[in-house]
Amino acid sequence: MTVSIQLEVNGKPVQAEVEPRRLLVHFLREDLGLTGANIGCETSLCGACTVLVDGSAIKSCTMLAAQADGTAVTTIEGLARNGELHPLQDGFWEKHGLQCGYCTPGMILSANYLLEQNPSPSDEEIREGLKGNICRCTGYHNIVEAVKYAAERMS
């Protein structure tokens, strides 16, 4: 069987027929070509697949595309506005908050959700807020700096 879904992805309406077992991350990557959300651990732990669903950060490897019917999804591809990087993207660039870049889309979307909830987080709050995103390259030091940089610019 297939399920009909209608949703908004990065502000654009999307309509599709999906297999029930189609995970949201596969739908985004393979059906829509939005490969920013990465598949890392497959056990809901690494956070590389994090996207926003109706404004909330979620792990798209642990959500069926069918469950996203009727929602508004934001991926890393939808964060820049009119060619202008989002302050978080700019912060990761300026503060060297990434090395290989695999975790970065998920990290930025989690940080975006964190800053929505708490516009001026302490270092400790940043570390607590991003605990669902694993980075193997940076030791997280510059990721914290990047989020602080963005928080200052967004306030």
Partner 1 sequence: MDRALEMIGYDDLCREQASRRGNGNGRRQLGIGFSSYIEACGLAPSAVVGSLGAQAGQWESADVRVHPTGSVTVYTGSSSHGQGHETTFSQIVADRLGVAPEAVEVIHGDTDLVQFGMGTYGSRSAAVGGSAIAGSVDKIIEKGKKIAAHLLEASAEDLEYEDGSFRVAGSPDRALGLGDVALQAYLAHNYPDDLEPGLSATTFYDPANFTYPFGTHVCVVEVDTETGSIELLRYAAVDDVGNVINPMIVDGQLHGGLAQGIGQALWENAVYDDSGQLVSGSLMDYALPKIHNLIPFELDRTTTPCPHNPLGVKGVGEAGAIASPPAVVNAVVDALAPFGVTHIDMPLTPEKVWRAVNAD
Partner 2 sequence: MYPAQFDYRRAGSVAEALGLLQEHEDAKLMAGGHSLIPMMKLRLAQPPVVIDIGRLDELKGISEAGGGVRVGSLTTHADIAASDILAASCPVLAEAAGHIGDAQVRNRGTIGGNIAHADPGSDIPPVLVLLGASVHLQSPSGTRSVAAADFFQDLLMTDVGEDEILTHVDVPAQSAGTGSAYLKFEHPASGYAVVGAAASVTVHHGRCTAAALVVGGVGAVPTAVDVSSLIGSDLSDDAIADAASGLDTEDPIGDIFASGDYRVHVGKVYGKRALAAARDRA
Residue 42 binds partner 2, judged by CB under 8 A: yes
Choice between 136 and 153, CB closer to partner 1: 136
Please report which helix (H) or strand (E) contains residue 103, including its range: none
Judged by CB under 8 A, which of 6, 17, 30, 56 binds partner 2?
Answer: 56
Cβ-contact 58, 52 below 8 angstroms = yes
The piece of 31-39, 59-67, 74-82, 123-131 that touches partner 1 (CB under 8 A) is 123-131
Q: Confirm or reject binding of residue 121 to partner 2 (CB under 8 A).
A: no
Question: Cβ 1 to partner 2, closest distance in Å?
Answer: 5
Helix (H, G, I), strand (E, B) or coil at 61: helix
**Residue 141 touches partner 1, criterion: CB under 8 A:** yes
Six-digit token string for 111: 């940080």
When computed from its CA atoms, the radius of gyration of the chain, rounded to whole angstroms, is: 15
Q: What CA–CA distance (Å, rounded) separates 109 from 149?
A: 15
Among 27, 92, 102, 113, binds partner 2 (CB under 8 A): 113
CA distance 46 to 40: 6
Nearest to 104, CA basis, from 64, 126, 124, 75: 75
The residues that touch partner 2, with contacts defined as CB under 8 A, are 1, 3, 19-21, 23, 26, 42-45, 47, 50, 56-59, 62-64, 66-67, 110, 113-114, 129, 131-133
